[in-house]
Chains A and B, each alone.
Chain A
Amino acid sequence: MEKFKSLSVVAWGCLLLCLASPAVGAGSISYNRDIRPILSDDCFHCHGPDQKTRKGKFRLDVREDAVAKGAIVPGKPGESGIIQRLLTKDPEELMPPPEAHKTVTSAQRDMLRRWIAAGAKYEKHWAYVPPVKPVLSSDRGAVDALIRRRLNEVGLRPALPADRRTLARRLYFDLIGLPPGAGDVEAFVQDKSPAAFAGLVEKLLASPQFGERMAIGWLDVVRFADTIGYHSDNPRNVWPYRDYVIKSFNQNKPFDQFTREQLAGDLLPGSTAEQRVASCFNRLLLTTEEGGAQSKDYEARMLTDRVRAVSAVWLGQTVGCAQCHDHKFDPIKQRDFYALGAFFADIEEPIIGRRESGLLVPDEKQVAELARLQAEVRSLETGFNSPHPECEEAFIKWNREQSQIALEDSRWTSLTPARAVAAGGDKLQIQSDQSVLVAGKKKPETDVYTLDLTNFPSAIQALRIEALPSESLPGKGPGRAGNGNFVLSRVLASIEHTNGASDPLQFVSARASFEQSMAADQTPNKLWSAASVIDPQAKGEFTGWAVLPEVAKPQQIILDCGRLLALNRGDTLKVVLEQNHGHGNHTLGHFRLSATTNTEALRGPFVFPLAKEIDDVLAVPSGKRDQAQRDRVWEYFKKHSPEFATLRTNLAGARKTLTAYEDSLPHCLVSVTNAQPRTVRVLPRGNFLADTGDIMQPALPAYLAGPETKSGGRRLTRLDLADWLVSRENPLTARVVVNRLWKQFFGCGLSKVVDDLGAQGELPPNQPLLDWLACEFMDSGWDLKHMVRLMVNSQAYQQTSVSPKKLRDRDPLNREIAAQSRWRLDAELVRDNALAVSGLLVEKIGGPSTKPYQPEGYWENLNFPARSYEASTGPDQYRRGLYAWWQRSYLHPSLQAFDAPTREECAAERNRSNIPQQALVLLNDPTYVEASRALAVRMLKEGGADPSTRLAWAWRQVLNRTPRPDEIKSVQALLDKELAEYRADKTAAQALLKTGQNTTPPESDPVELAAWTNVARVLLNLHETITRS
C-alpha cells in the first residue's frame, strides 16, 4: 500500500472500498447486492438448496448447475433459459409460474440480463464470508470515515450536529435509559470543553444503570420471562439470571466470556455460582405442565426452541424452517438443525411438568445466615452421632426385648403378593416391607381385595393379617374410614394348583390382638369379633372384625387351618379380603400377610415387631451380629427411643429451620449436564412420532464450520459450541452483535433485518462499516463498552435527527445515516421516564421481579391454578420497567401496549407502534396518574410560587427546556379551568389524589394539587416526552 500514500483521502477511500467490497461501485452489478435477492425471492423456492421441493432437477443457487442446464449462458443473456422463461408469453413456460404469485419487475429482469452479459459471476453469501477489516489510514474516526465515504458515493452530505440539550437527552436514553436531570443538561450545555461529550459518555458508561439499559435488549433476544409460557404458564425461578446479565454489562465482561458462561457456564472448569446462574440461558425456553402432553412432542418442541434461540442470539439466522426440511434460501440442512439441537440433549430437566427450584443463589448476608444455620445442624448432628454411654443401659434392655419379639416374629414368613387387585379400582401398592398400601381416590364403600401369593414356604398352617398404621391414612389407619377404623367381613383363601384345581382353606379358629366392643349392639356377641371373619353364623351382613378405638397402631388377626397343608412349587395361594360394611369407607388401608407352620407361633402371644427394616437384624442374637448389624440396631434405637427424643427434636428442628430458610432464598434454574444425553433423531417433516430418522451427534453447522468438526471422536459439548460461536472462524456472531448494538443507537441495523443475516436478509448498504465494527469488536477482545464508545462518540451519532425533506425522500428509512433518527422510547423506558421525572423512581438494581399496578381480572383466563395479581407494595412498586413480572401469556398490559414482546420467542426487534391503547395507558393507568400527582407535588413545592415559574420548572424537569409561549398559553387555560372545577367539586379533587399507594403530603391543598395533577398528566403524555430524538 506504500505507493498510494500520496493519494488524497477521498481517492483513498474509493480505492479501499473497492478492495474491501468489490461489489459496491456505480454501474457494476453485484451478485450479492443485486442478483441474489431476486433469485432468492423468486426462484430458490423451487430451484434452490432444498432438494425435496426442487423442480426440474436443477438449481440456480449453484453456478455450475445453472450453467450446465443452460439456465445461464455466461455472456449471452438472450440464450440463457432463465431470461427466456422470464419473458415468454406462454403461461406453461413462464417463470415464476403464475400460481406462485411472484412478480419479477422489468428493472429486475434488466438487472439479470446485464449480470449474465457481464459473465454471471456468483459470490458466496456475504455474511458467510468472515469479515475483513477495511484498511484505513487510522482507526481513529473509522466509523465517520466509512460513513462519509459511503455518503460521498451516494451523493449525500451529513446533517448538522444536534444541539447539546438534545444530545444529552439522546445519550441518557440510549446509554442508561433514564432522562437526564435538569441540572445534568444545564451543566453539559455550559461545558464548552471539547472533551465534554466524551466525558459524559464515560460517566454514563460507568453508571450502574448502563447495565440495566443494555439488559433490556438482551433479555428480549434470549426470551427471558418469569413464567413457563405454555398452558398454565406457571412461574419458574430465573430472575438471578437477569441480574447476572445486568452485572455482566456493568462489569464490561468480554462478550466471548459472556457467551461461554451462558451456554456452558456449568461446564467451565471450576465453575462459579455466577457462571452456573449464567447457564440459566439454556432453561429460558417454553415448557408445559399440561396433563396429556406427550413427552416426545415436547422433547421436539424444546429442541427446536433452543436451536432457534442459539441461531437468533448469536448467528442471526432464521433456521426454524429446517426443523422440517432443508432451508429453502440458505444452505442450512435439516441435519445441521438437529445436530445443533443435540448440543443441548445433555441438559437435565423434566420434559413435561413443574420445573425444579434450581440452584440456591444467596447474597452475601444470606450466605452468612445460611452458614450459621448449617453449623447449627452440623453441631447437633455431631452431638447425636457421638457415643452416648448414658443410654447404654436402656439400649441393652430394649435390645433384649426387641430381639425376643423379633425372634418370635421370625416364625412368621411374610408373603409378598405377586398380584394385588382391589375390585373397587383403587391401587394396592406393594411396599418394600412387603406390606400393601391402598391408594387412590375412588374410596368405594365396600371393596374386595384379591391377593395372589407365590413366595410362601413349603407348607402352611396359619395365616396372619397385620393391619398396619400409616401416615397416609385418615387417623393414621389402619383403615380408610375417617377415624382409622376398618371392618374386615370375611377372609377366603385357597390353594390354586398349576393344573387348575383349587383347594379352599378351611379356617377352624380366628383370634385377634383386639376386638372392637364399641357400637356393637347389632353384632352377635356384642363384638366386632375376629370369629366373624371365618364364621358365617357369627356375623350379620355388615359386620366383621374391627378395632375402634385401638386404631393408629398395628393390630393382628390369626386364622388357623387346624392342620398343616403342603404347598407345591408353582401353586398360588389366593387370599380374598371382603369388606362389606358399606358406609364410611370401612376398608383396610394398610396391611401385610404372613404365614407359619409353627404351632407355638400361632398360639403364642401376639408380637408386634417394631419395623420390618430392622426385624431381620434383631432376630440375630446380639453376640452374633457383625459391626454393620450392630450399627444398624444402634441407629434404629437412636431414631426411635425416648432417651434420644430431645436430641432428635432439636436436630429435626434445626434441619427444618435450615430448609425453610433455604426455601425462602432465591433460586435459579441452571444447566446441569447428564452423562446420558437424550437421543436426538432427525424428525422427518418434523414429525415427532417418527423414530426412523438418523441419530444425530452434536455438530457445528456444516455450512458455516465446514463439513467435519475436529473432535477426535469426543462428543462435542455446549462449551465447544460456545467456543466456536466466538471464534474467528465463525463469520456471524460479531456482525450480529454489533448490528444489534448499532440499532440501539441509530434506530436501524446496518443490515436492516437484524434477526436474519442470511440470504433473505439485507446486504448492508455500508458493509465495510459493519465489517470494520465486527472486526474491531473481535480485535478489542469482544469489548462491548469499547464498541459503544466508538458508536456514540462518532459525529454520525451526534447529528441532528431533524432532517430536510430532500433527504427523507432520498432515504426514507435513514439507511445512509446522513442524519440521526428519532423514535418512541421502549416500553420499559416510557415507564422509567415517568417515574424518574416525578421523583418516584426507586433506583435499586436487581432482585425478584416486581409487580406494577395492573387492572383487576386481567389474569382471569389463566388457570391451573387460577391466580390473582398482587401489585408490589412499598419501594418495589416504583422500580424500573425491566424488573416487571414477565407473564408470557398475559404480559403486563401497559408494557404490551408499548410493544414489549411476550418473550415466547427470541425477539431481536420490537415493533414501534403508535396505537390508541398507548394513549389509554398514559392517560388512565394508575402508574401514570400517580406519577403525575407526584410531579404536581414537586411543582408546587420546588417550582416556585406562581404558575409560570412552576411550568418553567416542570418543563425543565421533564423536557430539559423552557416551555414555548403556546404551551404556556394552553396549559394555563387548562389549569384555570381545572382549578375552577375542582373548587366546585372538592370530593373529585380528593378522589384523584387517592390514586396509587403513594400518599400526598398532608399540608397540600387538594384543589390546587388536583388541578396541577392534570397539568402534569399533559406533560407526561406529550409526544416529545416519550420520544428519543
Chain B
Amino acid sequence: MNPHPELRQFLAQRQTRRTFLGRTSQGIGALALASLLNPRLLAASSAARKDKWTGAAYPLDYPQKVKRVIWLSMAGGPSHLETFDYKPKLTKMHGEAMPASFTEGKQIAQLQGQKLVCFGQQHGFKKFGRNGTEICELFPHIGSVLDDICLIRSMTTEAINHDPAHMFMNTGSQIAGRPSMGAWSTYGLGTVSENLPGFVVLTSLGRGGQNQPIAARQWAAGLLPSRFQGVHLRGKGDPVLYLSTPSGVTHTQQKDVVDTINAINAKYDTIVDDPEIATRIVQYEMAFKMQTSVPELMDIKPEGAKTLELYGCKPGDGSFASNCLLARRLAERGVRFIQLYHKDWDHHGGLKDGIKFKAEEIDRACMALITDLKQRGMFEDTLIVWAGEFGRTPMSQGGDGRDHHNAGFSIWLAGGGVKPGMVYGATDELGYAAVENPIDVHDLHATMLRLMGVEHKKLSVKFQGLDVRLTGIAGKTIDGILT
C-alpha cells in the first residue's frame, strides 16, 4: 500500500511550490484568521510565519499610552461607602428611612419589597494626597499613593446580579458569548510574549467566606477565535491546565516526543501543503516552551525578601498580594492583559468586619504594585484598573450589610495616560446615584481602548451578520481623566 495515496493527486494537480498566502484552509491559522476577520491585515503577513498574532488594530488610531493592562477585579461588589466615597450625611441619617425620591422605580436585588433604611458608613474616612481626598481609613497604603491614582466616584452599570454584572463588566454585554476585554485587547494589539499567552487571569479567595462563583466565560474569547481566550494561571496544581508532562516522562523525553511529532508533521506538510500544519508545529513549540516558562514565572522566591515584604506576601500563599506580584512579572514578560480576581466582597451582612479583611488583603498589595511598577519604569505604560462588578446600597440589609447596587459606585485607574491624583465624578449626598459626570461600563471600555491607542468604534468583528464591538453601539471616552 502506498503510504500516501493523496500524494499522487497532489503531484498531479500541483503546479508550483506553495506560498503562504491563499492556501486552502478551513482552519484558523494566524493568516487565515486575519483574512476572515480583518481584511486590512492581509498585507501584514510577515509575522504569520511564527504564528505570532500581531494584532488587528494597526495602524493605531491614537498614540498608544499604555502597552498593557492590569485589571484588579474586586469580585462580589465592593462597597464604595466603605472604601472611596465619603458621605457624612448618610451616617447622620443612619437608621432613618431612605427617602423614596432616591429609590423609586430602580432595580433592587435582595432588598426587593423591604423597608429601606439608611445605613451609615461603618468606618471613618481620612484625607490623603496633596488634595486631601477622603478615603476610608482602612486603606492607608492606597492613600499613600493616592496622588498616582485617578479615582472615579460616578461609575454605573446595567446589571445587578453577580454573574450578569461580571459578564457586562468584562464583555460589554449581558448575553453570554461575547469576547471579554482581555480577548479584545490581544485581538486588537497582538501578543508580545513568545512563550506566554497574551491574556492571563489569576484568582484569589478572601477570608470572609463570601466567595461568589466566577464562570470561565468571564475570560472567554467568545465569538473570537480561542487563541484569544484568557489563560487561567492557577495557584494550585498545574498553573496552566495540562502543563506538566505525564509522570514518568522527563523534560528531555517530552522534548524528544515533541521533536518527533514536529518532524513528521513537517514532512506531511510538504506532501499535502496545508498551512494549518505549520501553525500546529509552532503551537507544539510554544506549548513546550510554556512547560518551562510558566513554572519559572510562577516562582516568586527569586524576587527577594525586600520585594516580598513590599507586597506583603509569601511564595505559594495564593494571596491577592502574590497575584499582584505575579502580575508585575507577567507585565515584564510582555503579557498584554492581566486580570486579577479577588473575591469575597459580597457583604450582604457582616460588613463592618468583612471590609477589614478586605483592606488587609488588598491595601498594601495595591500600593506595592504601583510602587513596584514605578520603580521599574513600567508605570507610565501600564494601565491599572481597580473595579468591582457593582457597588453596594446606602441602605441597610439586615442591619449589618449592604445589598447590590448599580446606580453609582467607585472605581480607580492608575498609570499611563490617566490624570494622577484626581477625583472624577460624584454620587448624590447619600451615595445612591452617580450625579456628577456619571459614566458607564461602555465608557470605561472605550477609555481603556483609547489608552491602548484604539478607537473603540473601529475595533469590530463580523458575527452573525453584525459588526460586534466591545462597546456595542454605545460608549464615549472619559476625556476628563485623560492626560
How long is the Cα–Cα vector from A1017 to B176 in the complex, in angstroms? 36
With both chains docked as a complex, state the minimum distance between the C-beta of B296 and any C-beta of chain A, in angstroms: 16
Interface string of B157-194 (1 = CB under 8 A from A): 00011111000000000111100000000000000000
Given known pairs A231-B213, A893-B241, A978-B253, the reply for A288 and B265 (CB within 8 Å) is: no
**Is B305 an interface residue, CB under 8 A from the partner?**
no
Which of chain B's residues have a CB closer than 8 A to the CB of A856?
A: 236-237
A912–B13 touching, CB < 8 Å: no
B163–A863 touching, CB < 8 Å: no
How long is the Cα–Cα vector from A297 to B106 in the complex, in angstroms? 12
B247–A992 touching, CB < 8 Å: yes
Which of chain A's residues have a CB closer than 8 A to the CB of B286?
A: 916, 919
With both chains docked as a complex, state the minimum distance between the C-beta of A499 and any C-beta of chain B, in angstroms: 30
How long is the Cα–Cα vector from A916 to B23 in the complex, in angstroms? 22
A756–B464 touching, CB < 8 Å: yes
Q: Chain B: which residue is nearest A748 at the CB level? A: B26
Which of chain A's residues have a CB closer than 8 A to the CB of B141?
A: none
How long is the Cα–Cα vector from A321 to B214 in the complex, in angstroms? 27
How long is the Cα–Cα vector from A165 to B268 in the complex, in angstroms? 16
A101–B457 touching, CB < 8 Å: yes
8 Å CB contacts to A: which residues of B433-477? 455, 457-458, 462, 464-466
B246–A929 touching, CB < 8 Å: yes
Which of B22, B160, B264 lies in contact with A805, CB distance below 8 A? B22
**Is B207 an interface residue, CB under 8 A from the partner?**
no
Residue of A160, A297, A914, A924 ringed by the most chain B CB atoms within 10 A: A914
Interface string of B217-249 (1 = CB under 8 A from A): 100100001110001001011101111111111
**Is B64 an interface residue, CB under 8 A from the partner?**
no
Which of chain B's residues have a CB closer than 8 A to the CB of A925?
A: 242
B217–A889 touching, CB < 8 Å: yes
**Is B216 an interface residue, CB under 8 A from the partner?**
yes
> Of B276-284, B325-333, B409-417, B422-430, which stretch is located at the interface?
B276-284
With both chains docked as a complex, state the minimum distance between the C-beta of B405 and any C-beta of chain A, in angstroms: 11
B225–A913 touching, CB < 8 Å: yes
Which of B12, B161, B283 lies in contact with A919, CB distance below 8 A? B283
A915–B465 touching, CB < 8 Å: no
Which of chain B's residues have a CB closer than 8 A to the CB of A1017?
A: 257
**Is B101 an interface residue, CB under 8 A from the partner?**
no
A163–B9 touching, CB < 8 Å: yes
A970–B215 touching, CB < 8 Å: no
8 Å CB contacts to B: which residues of A179-233? 189, 229-233
With both chains docked as a complex, state the minimum distance between the C-beta of A918 and any C-beta of chain B, in angstroms: 7
**Is A314 an interface residue, CB under 8 A from the partner?**
no
Interface string of A675-689 (1 = CB under 8 A from B): 000000000000001
Which of A288, A894, A962 lies in contact with B1, CB distance below 8 A? A962
Q: Chain A: which residue is nearest B341 at the CB level? A: A861
Residue of A159, A864, A924 ringed by the most chain B CB atoms within 10 A: A924
Given known pairs A863-B212, A915-B283, the reply for A803 and B464 (CB within 8 Å) is: no
Which of A163, A823, A971 lies in contact with B5, CB distance below 8 A? A163
Which of chain A's residues have a CB closer than 8 A to the CB of B257?
A: 923, 974, 1014, 1017-1018, 1021
> Of B107-115, B124-132, B142-150, B376-384, which stretch is located at the interface?
B107-115
How long is the Cα–Cα vector from A1022 to B466 in the complex, in angstroms? 37
**Is B92 an interface residue, CB under 8 A from the partner?**
no
With both chains docked as a complex, state the minimum distance between the C-beta of B70 and any C-beta of chain A, in angstroms: 20
**Is A617 an interface residue, CB under 8 A from the partner?**
no
A924–B245 touching, CB < 8 Å: yes
Which of chain B's residues have a CB closer than 8 A to the CB of A320?
A: 175
**Is A1001 an interface residue, CB under 8 A from the partner?**
no
Given known pairs A855-B238, A890-B216, A905-B175, the reply for A802 and B277 (CB within 8 Å) is: no
**Is A758 an interface residue, CB under 8 A from the partner?**
yes
Residue of B27, B215, B249, B464 ringed by the most chain A CB atoms within 10 A: B464
With both chains docked as a complex, state the minimum distance between the C-beta of A656 and any C-beta of chain B, in angstroms: 35
Which of chain B's residues have a CB closer than 8 A to the CB of A966?
A: 263-264, 267
Q: Chain B: which residue is nearest A1020 at the CB level? A: B261
Given known pairs A229-B176, A292-B403, A855-B241, the reply for A913 and B227 (CB within 8 Å) is: yes
> Of A647-655, A662-670, A896-904, which stretch is located at the interface?
A896-904
How long is the Cα–Cα vector from A610 to B312 in the complex, in angstroms? 67
**Is B48 an interface residue, CB under 8 A from the partner?**
no
Q: Chain B: which residue is nearest A910 at the CB level? A: B226
How long is the Cα–Cα vector from A914 to B228 in the complex, in angstroms? 11
With both chains docked as a complex, state the minimum distance between the C-beta of B184 and any C-beta of chain A, in angstroms: 16
**Is B203 an interface residue, CB under 8 A from the partner?**
yes
**Is A926 an interface residue, CB under 8 A from the partner?**
yes
Which of chain B's residues have a CB closer than 8 A to the CB of A857?
A: 234, 236-237
How long is the Cα–Cα vector from A230 to B244 in the complex, in angstroms? 31
Interface string of A755-766 (1 = CB under 8 A from B): 110111100000
Q: Chain B: which residue is nearest A41 at the CB level? A: B467
With both chains docked as a complex, state the minimum distance between the C-beta of A862 and any C-beta of chain B, in angstroms: 5
With both chains docked as a complex, state the minimum distance between the C-beta of B359 and any C-beta of chain A, in angstroms: 23
B247–A994 touching, CB < 8 Å: yes
A822–B107 touching, CB < 8 Å: no
How big is chain B's contact interface, by range?
Answer: 35 or more
Which of chain A's residues have a CB closer than 8 A to the CB of B280?
A: 914, 918-919, 1023
**Is A57 an interface residue, CB under 8 A from the partner?**
no
**Is A1010 an interface residue, CB under 8 A from the partner?**
yes
What is the number of residues of chain A that contact chain B, defined by CB distance less than 8 Å? 125
Q: Chain B: which residue is nearest A978 at the CB level? A: B253
Which of chain A's residues have a CB closer than 8 A to the CB of B267?
A: 964, 966-967
**Is A293 an interface residue, CB under 8 A from the partner?**
yes
A912–B290 touching, CB < 8 Å: no
B24–A812 touching, CB < 8 Å: yes
8 Å CB contacts to B: which residues of A961-985? 961-964, 966-967, 970-971, 973-974, 977-978, 981
**Is B137 an interface residue, CB under 8 A from the partner?**
no
How long is the Cα–Cα vector from A801 to B276 in the complex, in angstroms? 14
Which of chain A's residues have a CB closer than 8 A to the CB of B3?
A: 961-964, 967
**Is B45 an interface residue, CB under 8 A from the partner?**
no
A761–B465 touching, CB < 8 Å: yes
B466–A760 touching, CB < 8 Å: yes
Which of A808, A964, A992 lies in contact with B4, CB distance below 8 A? A964
B22–A912 touching, CB < 8 Å: no
With both chains docked as a complex, state the minimum distance between the C-beta of B262 and any C-beta of chain A, in angstroms: 10
**Is B260 an interface residue, CB under 8 A from the partner?**
yes
Given known pairs A290-B162, A894-B242, A923-B287, the reply for A899 and B226 (CB within 8 Å) is: yes
B176–A1022 touching, CB < 8 Å: no
Which of chain B's residues have a CB closer than 8 A to the CB of A989?
A: 248
Which of B203, B236, B261 lies in contact with A1021, CB distance below 8 A? B261
Which of chain B's residues have a CB closer than 8 A to the CB of A821?
A: 24, 26
**Is A920 an interface residue, CB under 8 A from the partner?**
yes
**Is A911 an interface residue, CB under 8 A from the partner?**
yes
A919–B287 touching, CB < 8 Å: yes
B24–A970 touching, CB < 8 Å: no
**Is A753 an interface residue, CB under 8 A from the partner?**
yes
How long is the Cα–Cα vector from A297 to B465 in the complex, in angstroms? 27
8 Å CB contacts to B: which residues of A982-1029? 988-995, 1010, 1014, 1017-1018, 1021-1024, 1027, 1029
Q: Chain A: which residue is nearest B258 at the CB level? A: A923
**Is B483 an interface residue, CB under 8 A from the partner?**
no
Can you name 5 A-B pairs with beta carbons within 8 Å?
Answer: A301-B174, A812-B22, A912-B26, A978-B253, A981-B250
**Chain B positions near chain A (C-beta within 8 angstroms):** 1-6, 8-10, 12-16, 18-19, 21-29, 35, 51, 105, 107-110, 112, 160-164, 174-177, 197, 203, 211-217, 220, 225-227, 231, 234, 236-238, 240-250, 253-254, 256-258, 260-261, 263-265, 267-268, 272-274, 276-277, 279-280, 283-284, 286-288, 290, 403-404, 455, 457-458, 462, 464-466
10 shortest interchain CB distances as A-B pairs: A760-B465, A992-B248, A889-B215, A163-B5, A991-B248, A292-B109, A904-B176, A919-B287, A292-B110, A756-B465
| A689-B105, A914-B227 given; 14 more Cβ-contact pairs under 8 Å | A101-B455, A163-B9, A231-B213, A288-B163, A292-B109, A292-B403, A823-B27, A861-B214, A902-B176, A923-B242, A966-B263, A967-B267, A1017-B257, A1023-B280
